[in-house]
Amino acid sequence: MKFLVTGGAGFIGSNYMHYVTSKYPEDYFVCLDALTYAGNYNNIKDLEDKDNYKFVKGDITDKDFVDELFEQEKFDVVINFAAESHVDNSIKNPRLFLMTNIIGTQTLMDASRKYGIKRYHQVSTDEVYGDLPLDRPDLLFTETTPLHTSSPYSSSKASADLLVMAYHRTYGLPVTISRCSNNYGPYQFPEKLIPVVISKALNNEKIPVYGKGENVRDWIHVIDHNIGVDLIVRNGKVGEVYNLGGHSERTNLEVVKTILNQLGKSEDLIEYVTDRPGHDLRYAIDSTKVERELGWNRTYTFETGIKETIDWYVNNTDWIENIKSGEYKKAYKGD
Ligand SMILES: NC(=O)c1ccc[n+]([C@@H]2O[C@H](COP(=O)([O-])OP(=O)(O)OC[C@H]3O[C@@H](n4cnc5c(N)ncnc54)[C@H](O)[C@@H]3O)[C@@H](O)[C@H]2O)c1
């Protein structure tokens, strides 16, 4: 089968590309990415020699380009990881998020309809459910929790999800959606909490923590997310939404302290800063459906996963320095 994977130079997408190109030598994977500031060709450069893989630079909102690519490649399956993904940026520039996350999704789905794709999979987020109170640990997001968003980012992702379900109902497009909690692991752009903290701690710089650091996230290793996406794409039921969660709720402060502790750094580096506007309090995901129906489960505990992840960043300081200096923008030698 031939797969189109969008956003494959980003954090989760690049981990996905590594996973599937090794696991399925008989399938063929085209990685499409616009290489925005968050797309890093270094993440996937080592795939260049693989026979079942190719990279294409392009924008999912560009209808003519997308149509031409579908016409040429005759994909069987489309998996859409491409997105603007940083909440803080969405507060500064919502329009870009609406373009990429909504119009980009529509453009891919229109081409999927036109060229008779067998499966369109949308990679979504638990943020579409809004947040949960801190004092109700019994509450979890299920697939039937109403969409109730807080930021322009989560609103754009929720809008895309609604559109995906509408394309299924109206046009019969064979879709699935996965909604996952906060990911951590290798290749995460150093604007997100975990790589920011590691990078700053290694340089003995102050570590900004929003508010009192009480916000709770449900952390999942990126490999476990990707195993789930792959299972849903191959075995999930058309028209269904599947939640994927880490079952590892931690406050931001706990995460920061875990990192400082492993790196042998002082907690005095922590600096509390003005909270993010509209900051979601708590996310927690119920993944019972995908566990029961598709046999998915996590392979990492948070303790093992975070330790391995910190080690990865410590052993790959060049990767982060390359981003900080802007050198990473030169990694792609194509046009
Ligand atoms: N990071 C998380 O914790 C998390 C959790 C749940 C869901 N998600 C979702 O997973 C997906 C991937 O997230 P991520 O953290 O890897 O994001 P990321 O920002 O690291 O990567 C996004 C990738 O999309 C590419 N891209 C952006 N605009 C594009 C466009 N117009 N055309 C083609 N490519 C474009 C970028 O170049 C980049 O490579 C997103 O859809 C996100 O909403 C992320």
Q: Is 127 a catalytic residue?
A: yes
Closest CA to 248 of 298, 194, 185: 298
Q: Return the percentage of the chain with pLDDT > 90, whole number.
A: 98
Closest CA to 273 of 195, 203, 196: 196
Distances (CA, A) of 323 to 41, 187, 211: 11, 11, 27
Domains of the chain by start residue, with CATH:
2-189+220-248+278-300 (3.40.50.720)
- What's the CA-to-centroid distance between 124 and ligand 1, angstroms? 10
Task: Say yes or no to pLDDT of 335 above 80.
Answer: no
Q: What does the pLDDT look like over 103-132, one tens digit per residue?
A: 999 999 999 999 999 999 999 999 999 999
Are 207 and 270 a contacting pair, CB within 8 Å?
yes
Across residues 138-165, what is the average pLDDT? 97
Helix ranges, 141-221 (H): 152-171, 193-202
Q: Would you tell me the crossing angle of helices 104-114 and 152-171 to the nearest 10 degrees?
A: 20
Residue that has been written with the tokens 């996963």 in this structure:
305
Give pLDDT tens digits for 247-303: 999 999 999 999 999 999 999 999 999 999 989 999 999 999 999 999 999 999 999
**Dist. CA 10 → ligand 1 center (Å):** 6
Q: What is the pLDDT of residues 190-203, one digit of tens each?
A: 999 999 999 999 99
Res. 321 pLDDT band, cuts 50 70 90: very high
pTM of the model: 0.98
Instruction: Assign 3-state DSSP to the chain and report helix, strand, coil percentages, each to 5.
Output: 45, 20, 35
CA atoms within 13 A on the CB side of 198: 27
Ligand 1 site, residue 127, Cβ cutoff 6 A: no
Question: Active-site residue 153, yes or no?
Answer: yes
- Is residue 126 part of the annotated active site? The answer reads yes
Q: So what's the pLDDT on residue 147?
A: 98
Residue 88 has pLDDT above 80, yes or no: yes
